[in-house]
Amino acid sequence: EEQMVREIRTLFTEAAIRNFRDDTLTGELTKLHLPLVHRNNVIAAIKPLAFDQAEPSSILDHCEQWVIRLARAEREGIIKLENVLIPVTAPYSEQTRTQRKAVDAAKQIIRRNRLPLVEFEQTDKITAFAKQFA
């Protein structure tokens, strides 16, 4: 995920997008550190998720942990879920059938929770999302 963040920052530098920074969103019950946060009239964020864990259950745990954190932040009025882009990546060619099944299930969890989801390789969509808030 750190590599994904570095690549997104490079992408934003090339696209002259300078308004997403490493930040911590806090509320009464929430403290959420995110690598790419935009603060202006609207708070927006990009949280890359890498589904490269060995155990299928770990893939789902990783996904659910972030979805729960983001949903709690929305309940506290800190951020709206539609303003949080989730770029995802998984080493599909190296994964087992059950790992791929877990990745597919994780993507469904993200979508069911109204979080915008893109494949990490869809850099044009990541850039377009960020430009909405420029």
Residues pairing with 119 in the sheet: 88
Q: Is the pLDDT reported for residue 27 higher than 80? A: yes
Reference 96, options 56, 63, 61; nearest CA is: 56
Q: Is the pLDDT reported for residue 91 higher than 90? A: no
**Residue 36: CB partners within 8 Å, gap ≥ 6?**
5, 8, 9, 20, 21, 22, 45, 46, 47
Reference 64, options 109, 100, 117, 34; nearest CA is: 109
**Could you report the per-residue pLDDT of 28-81, keeping only the tens digit for each?**
999 999 999 999 989 999 999 999 999 999 999 999 999 999 999 999 999 999
**Could you report the per-residue pLDDT of 104-131, keeping only the tens digit for each?**
999 999 999 999 999 999 999 999 999 9
Q: What is residue 29's predicted lDDT score, i.e. its pLDDT?
A: 93
Q: Does the global pTM surpass 0.85?
A: yes
Neighbours of 76 (CB within 10 A): 15
The rounded distance, in Å, linking the Cα atoms of 40 and 31 is 19
Q: What is residue 93's predicted lDDT score, i.e. its pLDDT?
A: 81
